């Protein structure tokens, strides 16, 4: 375990980490709540809203959790599916066929 990961879990702060990430690491005892696996220094970690913002969740620490990137992707997909069914959030998907394109006008 690298120094920053160890001290973030112990103290909830480290100069190389955003405060929010360090606090969440300490609160979660260095574990991802999705599967209970410990974070490793090489893992990609992302901050997640337990209750999504569009469903009334806020950005208070009580509504935040630190997840592995792939766990966050899975949870977000699940949240979006649930939101689409209950119509709490409006979700738009990009259509590749209608991307904005630069229109050049020729001079006459």
The percent of residues in the chain predicted with pLDDT above 90, rounded, is 42
Q: Give residue for tokens 């935040």.
A: 64
DSSP 1-24: --HHHHHHHHHS--TTS-HHHHHH
Give me the pLDDT at residue 77, please.
93
Give the residue ranges of the chain where pLDDT is below 70.
1-2, 4, 6-7, 9-11, 13, 87-108
Q: Give residue for tokens 């050049």.
A: 104
Tell the CATH topology of 3-89.
DNA Binding (I), subunit A (1.10.30)
> How do residues 8-30 score in pLDDT, each as one tens digit?
766 676 777 888 998 999 899 99
Of the candidates 29, 26, 39, the residue with the CA atom closest to the CA atom of residue 72? 39
């Amino acid at each position: 375990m690298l120094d920053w990961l160890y001290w973030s879990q112990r103290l909830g702060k480290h100069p190389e980490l955003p405060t929010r990430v360090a606090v969440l690491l300490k609160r979660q005892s260095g574990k991802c709540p999705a599967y209970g696996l410990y974070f490793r220094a090489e893992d990609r970690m992302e901050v997640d809203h337990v209750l999504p913002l569009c469903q009334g969740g806020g950005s208070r620490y009580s509504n935040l959790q630190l997840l592995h990137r792939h766990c966050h992707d899975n949870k977000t997909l699940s949240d979006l599916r649930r939101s689409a069914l209950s119509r709490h959030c409006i979700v738009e998907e990009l259509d590749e066929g209608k991307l904005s394109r630069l229109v050049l006008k020729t001079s006459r």
